[in-house]
Structure formats: C-alpha cells, structure tokens
C-alpha cells in the first residue's frame, strides 16, 4: 500500500473518530441536578416552543434551545426533587419525588409559589406512607385528564387536573404508562415484574377493562416505553432487553427482533421515538452496564444501525430518563447530563458503519392461553398464543 493511500485512510479514521466523539453534546445541566436519588427517581423533560424544561432533583430548570449560548435557569420549585409536571394554561401541577406523601404541588406562577394539593386518598388507608408515584401523563387532547402510576397501588386517573383521583386498576404495577396519541381511549401500561417477566397491559376502553398482551418471547425481558406511528394508529414499536418488538394490529400481537448475543445491539432499549419529520426513521435509546447508547432505523424498524455510544463518567450514572426531539436534534436525559445529538450526524454514522442488520426473529416452542398462562401441550381446540401470534385450533 503506498503512502498516499495510507495518509487518506489515516485521515478518514481521524474524521470518523472525531465525529464519533462529538456526537453526544452535554448541555451542562450536570450530575448534581441529574443524579439519581433512588431507583424510582426518573425525572422527565418537556419542550414548549424553543424552551426545554427539565425536572431535576433541585427543582424545575429551563434552557432556550434556539440559542446555543443560553444557560440553564431555575424556573421554580427550588430545592424540590421533581419527577414530572403537566400544564393547563398558566397552571403547573408538579409531581415531586416522594416515597411517603406530599406528591402534588400546584403553582399558578410557573413554580415560584405553590401549594400542596395531594388528595387525602394518597395519605390515608391503604396508601399510607408506603406508596411511590412514578409516572405522570396528560391526556393528548383534554388537559384536565391525567394518569399517574404508583407502586404498589396501581394506576389512577384524574378528570380535573389532579383535584380528585380514581383508581383504574390495582393489579398492574407498570414502569411506563401512556395514552395512544391518535386514539386516547387506548391506554398502555408496560415494564417489568419480578423474575424478569413482562408487564404489558392495554385498555381499549379508557381504563374500564384491561387485556394482558405481552410479546411472549422466551427468556428474561421487559417492555419499556411504547412509540406510536404518527399516522398509522395500528403500528406500535417498543424496546426491551436486547429486543425490539413491533405490532401492526394495535398492540394485540407482536413480532420480535432478537439482538441478544450479537455483542452490539443487546443493550437495554428504554425509549423509542419515530422521527418527527420522517416516520421511516425510528430511534432507540438505552444503555449497557457502562455506556449510554442510541441506534436508529431508516426503514421503519426492520433493520437497525450499530449503536453509537457515550461512555459514562462513572459506573453509577448509567440510567436513561427520557428522550425528546427538537427540530433536527435529539435530547437524551441521563444521570450525568442532558445530551444533544444531531439527527444528521447520527444518521451519517449509522449509514457509514457496516453491520446494519435485520435481527433474527426469536422462535419459541412455548405456548400460552389468552390469559397468559403457559401451557404444556397445544390445545386440541381453541385459541392460543405462540411467538407473539394468536393461533386457532379447530
């Protein structure tokens, strides 16, 4: 090989390494505000216009994303560990991180002043001093209607912006909850139970009844936060532990892409998002034991790029809290900071790296009935589930 070719290859390698190193841009919120207090502390982000709001363990902070020179500003709820907040006109209802009581704080001035509006049912009786609220979700078209998930007392819904709460179910303890944005009568509850089994319960009637619709792949796994196709309500996609699940029938059955063992894509995929401008592009954000990771698909989730990674500064800062989009950028909230990622740079990395593959579909001989119970033999008649698909035996 001649010297000119060696020089070209060396320059290409340098450009690739430099680009890789610049993919994750920290926004400077810092581990002091992002650091995790307990397992259930999962602060969230919101974007309103050009303003990014971040719940932190020291209050609500904001930054102007349209100005690269802007700095973080304290908005309100100073010194309070916040999980999330919802907005209705000028009112903010914040959910603080708390493992006993005083969960909800209502502010009429952006968080500068506030009052505790936690209903009595969250203080007394069965919930007394042992409940943790983990997720707060606002209805996509009715700002008064809210969902909250609790451990260990299930899912509650409020029709009046948190003044009163009705329990939808106490049998489901999810890590993630949400409304289907195109059909809000559909509510999902997903996550992981003890012994590494799935939580995926779906209500198609606004929480009145629930169906247990997990993917039924073999082995240890979980189902994390679901993403819904922006125009086709039947198409859902979600990540697990080394697995991507897709549904084309509104969450009733699932196809399984198994990355376990490939050494690249078998991290824990926590957050999924369809690109806001091109729904053929899908992003997955997650982590391994020592890295935060993001990968993408340019064909609607059929094939996936090699993940781009950012090593964690210390082993205890490995958790991923949230994933949001702002124009041409992705925002990736972790225990150490909020990172900004250029979509164009990520896609350039993805298409330039060999190894974009279709995951193998996991085939399993395990069969289940419609209640999710494992069966030892195939039934002579009736409907059963195998490999995430319903099958009819006549």
Which residues have a Cβ under 8 Å from the Cβ of 133 and sit 6 or more positions away? 83, 95, 98, 103, 122, 148, 149, 150
Q: What is the pTM of this model?
A: 0.84
Give the per-residue pLDDT at 318. Answer: 72
In three-state secondary structure terms, 365 is coil
More confident residue, 186 or 153: 186
Determine the Cα–Cα distance for residues 65 and 326; give it in Å rounded to an integer. Answer: 8
Tokens in use for 216? 């039924």
More confident residue, 100 or 76: 76
Using one digit for the tens of pLDDT, what is the confidence trace for 97-141? Answer: 976 678 999 999 999 999 999 988 786 555 455 678 889 999 999
Residue 69 has pLDDT above 80, yes or no: yes
Beta-bridge partners for 73: 62
Determine the Cα–Cα distance for residues 244 and 359; give it in Å rounded to an integer. Answer: 9
Give the per-residue pLDDT at 5. Answer: 36
Average pLDDT in the chain: 83
Give the per-residue pLDDT at 282. Answer: 97
Q: Contact at 8 Å (CB) between 273 and 227?
A: yes
CA distances from 142 to 106, 191, 306, 308, 376 (A): 18, 25, 39, 38, 46
> Chain centroid to CA 229: how far?
15
CA distances from 132 to 123, 136, 173, 223, 225 (A): 11, 12, 11, 21, 19
Determine the Cα–Cα distance for residues 163 and 117; give it in Å rounded to an integer. Answer: 7
Residue with tokens 């289907």: 180
What is the mean pLDDT of the segment spanning 273-286? 95
Q: Contact at 8 Å (CB) between 150 and 100?
A: no
Residue 253 burial (CB < 10 Å; 0-12/13-18/19+)? Answer: middle
Determine the Cα–Cα distance for residues 122 and 131; give it in Å rounded to an integer. Answer: 8
Determine the Cα–Cα distance for residues 227 and 121; give it in Å rounded to an integer. Answer: 32
Could you tell me the pLDDT band of residue 220, with boundaries at 50, 70 and 90? low
- Count of other CB atoms within 10 angstroms of residue 187: 24
Residue 394 has pLDDT above 70, yes or no: no
Residue with tokens 């509650």: 156
Tokens in use for 157? 């819904």
Determine the Cα–Cα distance for residues 37 and 118; give it in Å rounded to an integer. Answer: 22
């Amino acid at each position: 090989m001649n010297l000119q070719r060696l020089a070209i290859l060396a320059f290409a390698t340098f450009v690739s390494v430099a680009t890789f190193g610049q993919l994750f841009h920290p926004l400077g919120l810092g581990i002091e505000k992002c650091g995790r207090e307990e397992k259930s502390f999962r602060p969230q982000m919101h974007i309103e216009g050009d303003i990014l709001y971040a719940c932190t363990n020291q209050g609500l902070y904001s930054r102007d994303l349209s100005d690269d020179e802007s700095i973080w500003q304290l908005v309100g709820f100073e010194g309070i560990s916040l999980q999330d907040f919802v907005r209705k006109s000028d009112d903010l209802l914040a959910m603080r991180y708390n493992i006993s009581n005083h969960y909800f704080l209502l502010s009429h001035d952006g968080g500068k002043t506030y009052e505790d509006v936690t209903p009595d049912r969250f203080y007394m009786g069965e919930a007394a001093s042992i409940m943790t609220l983990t997720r707060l979700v606002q209805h996509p078209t009715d700002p008064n209607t809210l969902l909250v998930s609790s451990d260990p007392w299930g899912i509650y819904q409020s029709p009046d912006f948190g003044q009163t709460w009705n329990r939808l179910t106490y049998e489901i303890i999810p890590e993630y909850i949400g409304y289907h944005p195109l059909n809000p009568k559909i509510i999902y509850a997903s996550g992981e139970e003890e012994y590494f089994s799935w939580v995926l319960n779906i209500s198609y009637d606004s929480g009145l009844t629930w169906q247990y619709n997990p993917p039924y792949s073999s082995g240890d796994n979980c189902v994390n936060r679901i993403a819904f196709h922006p125009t086709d309500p039947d198409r859902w996609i979600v990540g697990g532990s080394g697995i991507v699940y897709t549904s084309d029938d509104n969450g009733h059955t699932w196809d399984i892409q198994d990355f376990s063992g490939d050494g690249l894509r078998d991290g824990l995929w926590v957050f999924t998002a369809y690109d806001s401008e091109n729904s053929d592009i899908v992003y997955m954000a997650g982590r391994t034991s020592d890295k935060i990771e993001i990968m993408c698909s340019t064909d609607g989730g059929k094939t996936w790029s090699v993940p781009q990674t950012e090593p964690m500064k210390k082993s205890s800062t490995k958790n991923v809290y949230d994933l949001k989009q702002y124009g041409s950028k992705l925002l990736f909230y972790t225990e150490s900071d909020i990172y900004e990622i250029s979509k164009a740079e990520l896609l350039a990395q993805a298409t330039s790296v060999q190894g974009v593959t279709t995951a193998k579909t996991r085939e399993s001989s395990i069969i289940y009935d419609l209640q999710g119970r494992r069966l030892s033999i195939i039934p002579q008649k009736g409907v059963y589930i195998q490999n995430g698909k319903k099958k009819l035996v006549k």
